[in-house]
């Protein structure tokens, strides 16, 4: 394989390891969240690794993501939760996807879709569609507001009785799980328990009640119910920096590049657009062929670092669309050369920064760093558990 100028390498063994750690830590079903192209790690490959680790359930946001997983051969339980009116509900029902409804209007639309799919209603195999209900317990984002719960549950039960669907889950999402002491966590959990009691009164008996994302799955045992929805921790990143105990999660993503050029700078030479940095002493800089066109945040200009030969070196000047400069220090026998490796981020085992380090430098969260990285980079999946990782390399050239 020719060396890539800039590439993402994802270790599927790390994904499997993290999913198993989360299963053991939570003691309940772990729904592995693979939306947004698996947080930038590759949805289909991550889904396969999660299934290999024993994940019965996966979750995505959109029906298109769920249908793409089915097209790729995934046959397990699969939840999707963010639809707009007119989504391909019928296709999703036929593909055995668990849909989420936030409102009676959405249930009505799903009922019509179920009728179009099967006779009398439901999937072509005669079984009913599967629907989960999302209640808003305080995030004030998606989900039915409290005043709509009774009607939503009554309509959902009626749909069960008419054979349109089975209600397989009731769930909600926390606003502040990465701040374990925040009072909203208790308030939302209480509200969720109220919703479950009302659903029970309406005669609903869902197989999965779920509230927790990664942070709550780890930090809030009372919020685990029947399942936890884990995204970021499945990728080995810390869901609640400063609060999460060391569980031995392993970041699955490494981003590397080859230096395009190394040059010397004299005192007073300024670099990149706007000349925001000027060399205070003679130094060498390396040109890294990745920029905001690859999802390297422009906010990293002058504040983040990359790993070169085991040492973290500062980014100098502005990150451009295709490239940025890294300060390699005064020229000597150890000065790197064009073609040498730069580690933008990774697990941190070779002195490189982590996605969390980038997040802190850029005033964002690791989710955004890994999800946005990509653009023209190639993405390769390896499996460090196999003896010869290169036997299992798959390069996604479509990126
Ligand atoms: C509804 C819902 N549940 C679970 C998750 C997973 O969250 P995390 O990545 O923090 O585990 C997300 C991610 O944004 C989400 O939107």
Q: Which atom of ligand 1 is nearest to the CA of 171?
A: 1
Active site residue 134: no
Are 174 and 114 contained in the same domain?
A: yes
pLDDT of residue 297: 98
Quickly tell me which residue has 């920064």 as its tokens.
Answer: 353
pLDDT of residue 97: 97
Q: Among 171, 206, 235, identify where a domain stops.
A: 235
Contact between 63 and 92 under an 8 Å Cβ cutoff? The reply is yes
Cα 388 to ligand 1 centre (Å): 34
Nearest to 132 by CA among 91, 113, 94, 160: 160
Mutation test of ligand 1: which of 225, 229, 365, 369 has the most ligand atoms closer than 8 Å to its C-beta? 229
Where would I find the beta strands (DSSP E) of 241-323? Answer: 253-258, 261-265, 270-271, 277-278, 283-288, 305-308, 311-316
Let me know the angle formed at the C-alpha of 40 by 35 and 43, rounded to the nearest 5 degrees: 50
Q: Which atom of ligand 1 is nearest to the CA of 39?
A: 9
Question: What tens-digit pLDDT sequence spans the chain (399 residues)?
Answer: 456 799 999 999 999 999 999 999 999 999 999 999 999 999 999 999 999 999 999 999 999 999 999 999 999 999 999 999 999 999 999 999 999 999 999 999 999 999 888 755 666 677 789 999 999 999 999 999 999 999 999 999 999 999 999 999 999 999 999 999 999 999 999 999 999 999 999 999 999 999 999 999 999 999 999 999 999 999 999 999 999 999 999 999 999 999 999 999 999 999 999 999 999 999 999 999 999 999 999 999 999 999 999 999 999 999 999 999 999 999 999 999 999 999 999 999 999 999 999 999 999 999 999 999 999 999 999 999 985 554 445 556 545
Q: Among 203, 235, 267, identify where a domain stops.
A: 235
List all residues 6 or more positions away from 85 whose beta carbon is below 8 Å from its beta carbon: 105, 106, 109
Q: At what angle do helices 63-71 and 43-52 cross, to 10 degrees?
A: 70
Are 307 and 187 contained in the same domain?
A: no
Are 169 and 295 contained in the same domain?
A: no
Cα 32 to ligand 1 centre (Å): 9
In a domain, 396, yes or no: no
Measured by CA distance, the residue closest to atom 6 of ligand 1 is: 231
Peptide bond between residue 120 and the one before it cis (omega within 30 degrees of 0): yes
Are 344 and 311 contained in the same domain?
A: yes
pLDDT of residue 127: 78
Contact between 249 and 291 under an 8 Å Cβ cutoff? The reply is no
Cα 237 to ligand 1 centre (Å): 13
List all residues 6 or more positions away from 289 whose beta carbon is below 8 Å from its beta carbon: 5, 6, 257, 258, 260, 322, 323
Give the pair of three-digit tokens for residue 391: 């036997």
Q: What is the spatial distance between Cα 342 and Cα 336, in angstroms, rounded to a whole number?
A: 10
Of 89, 273, 292, 367, which is the active-site residue? Answer: 273
Cα 95 to ligand 1 centre (Å): 23
Nearest to 182 by CA among 232, 223, 231: 223
Q: What is the spatial distance between Cα 5 and Cα 8, in angstroms, rounded to a whole number?
A: 10
In this structure, the residues whose C-beta lies within 6 A of any atom of ligand 1 are 33, 81, 173, 213-215, 229-233, 239
Are 143 and 47 contained in the same domain?
A: yes
Active site residue 39: no
Are 80 and 16 contained in the same domain?
A: yes
Cα 124 to ligand 1 centre (Å): 31
CATH number for the domain that contains residue 353: 2.40.37.10
Quickly tell me which residue has 């070169």 as its tokens.
Answer: 308
pLDDT of residue 390: 47
Are 270 and 334 contained in the same domain?
A: yes
Q: What is the spatial distance between Cα 121 and Cα 130, in angstroms, rounded to a whole number?
A: 12
Are 56 and 127 contained in the same domain?
A: yes
In a domain, 304, yes or no: yes
In a domain, 245, yes or no: no
Are 29 and 108 contained in the same domain?
A: yes
pLDDT of residue 186: 98
pLDDT of residue 61: 98
Nearest to 46 by CA among 68, 24, 26: 68
In a domain, 386, yes or no: no
In a domain, 377, yes or no: no
* pTM of this structure: 0.95
Helix ranges (DSSP H) in the chain:
12-26, 35-39, 43-52, 63-71, 89-94, 104-117, 149-161, 183-201, 214-219, 355-362, 366-372
Q: Which atom of ligand 1 is nearest to the CA of 33?
A: 6
Cα dihedral 323, 329, 332, 336 sign: negative
Mutation test of ligand 1: which of 18, 228, 231 has the most ligand atoms closer than 8 Å to its C-beta? 231
Q: Are strands 29-33 and 57-60 parallel, antiparallel or unpaired?
A: parallel
Are 210 and 293 contained in the same domain?
A: no
Mutation test of ligand 1: which of 46, 100, 132, 173 has the most ligand atoms closer than 8 Å to its C-beta? 173
Measured by CA distance, the residue closest to atom 8 of ligand 1 is: 231
Are 231 and 258 contained in the same domain?
A: no
Cα 173 to ligand 1 centre (Å): 8
Are 138 and 287 contained in the same domain?
A: no
* CA of residue 115 relative to chain centroid, distance: 34
Task: Give the CA-trace dihedral at 149, 151, 156, 162, to 10 degrees.
Answer: 170
Please state the domain count of the chain: 2
Expressed as residue numbers, the domain containing 230 is: 12-235
Nearest to 171 by CA among 134, 199, 213: 134
Q: What is the spatial distance between Cα 339 and Cα 347, in angstroms, rounded to a whole number?
A: 22
Q: What is the spatial distance between Cα 133 and Cα 196, in angstroms, rounded to a whole number?
A: 11
Q: Among 200, 235, 270, identify where a domain stops.
A: 235
Of 35, 102, 134, 367, which is the active-site residue? Answer: 35
Q: Give the DSSP letter string of 222-236.
A: GG-TTEEEESGGGGT
Mutation test of ligand 1: which of 15, 30, 33 has the most ligand atoms closer than 8 Å to its C-beta? 33
Cα 174 to ligand 1 centre (Å): 9
Q: Which atom of ligand 1 is nearest to the CA of 35?
A: 13
Nearest to 32 by CA among 13, 52, 15, 55: 55
In a domain, 55, yes or no: yes
């Amino acid at each position: 394989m020719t060396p890539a100028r800039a590439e993402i390498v994802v270790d599927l063994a790390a994904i499997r390891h993290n999913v198993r750690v989360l299963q053991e830590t939570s003691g309940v079903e772990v729904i592995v969240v693979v939306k947004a192209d698996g947080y930038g790690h590759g949805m289909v490959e991550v889904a396969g690794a999660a299934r290999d680790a024993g994940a019965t359930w996966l979750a995505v946001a959109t029906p298109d993501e769920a249908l793409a997983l089915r097209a790729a051969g995934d046959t397990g339980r699969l939840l999707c939760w963010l639809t707009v009116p007119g989504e391909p509900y019928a296709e999703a029902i036929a593909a055995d996807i668990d849909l989420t409804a936030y409102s009676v209007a959405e249930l009505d639309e799903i009922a019509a879709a179920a009728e179009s799919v099967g006779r009398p209603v439901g999937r072509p195999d005669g079984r009913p569609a599967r629907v989960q209900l999302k209640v808003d317990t305080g995030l004030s984002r998606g989900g039915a507001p409290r005043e709509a719960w009774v009607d939503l549950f009554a309509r959902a039960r009626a749909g069960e009785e008419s054979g349109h669907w089975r209600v397989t889950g009731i769930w909600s999402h926390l606003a502040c799980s990465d701040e374990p002491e925040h009072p909203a966590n208790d308030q939302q959990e209480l509200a969720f328990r109220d919703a479950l009691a009302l659903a029970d009164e309406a005669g609903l008996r869902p197989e999965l009640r779920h509230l927790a994302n990664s942070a709550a799955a780890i930090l809030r045992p009372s919020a685990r119910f029947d399942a936890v929805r884990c995204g970021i921790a499945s990728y080995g990143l810390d869901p609640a920096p400063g609060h999460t105990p060391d569980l031995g999660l392993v970041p699955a993503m490494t981003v590397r590049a080859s230096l395009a050029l190394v040059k010397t700078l004299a005192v007073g030479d300024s670099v990149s657009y706007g000349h925001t940095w000027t060399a205070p002493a003679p130094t060498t800089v390396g040109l890294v062929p990745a920029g905001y066109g690859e999802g390297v945040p422009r906010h990293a200009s002058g504040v983040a670092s990359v790993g070169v030969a085991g040492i973290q070196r500062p980014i100098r000047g502005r990150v451009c669309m295709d490239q940025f400069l890294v300060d390699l220090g005064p020229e000597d026998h150890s000065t790197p050369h064009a073609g040498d490796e730069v580690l933008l981020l990774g697990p941190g085992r070779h002195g490189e920064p982590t996605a969390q380090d980038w997040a802190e430098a850029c005033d964002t969260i690791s989710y955004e760093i890994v999800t946005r990285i990509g653009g023209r980079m190639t993405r390769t999946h390896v499996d460090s558990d196999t003896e010869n990782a290169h036997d299992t390399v798959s390069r996604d050239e479509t990126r």
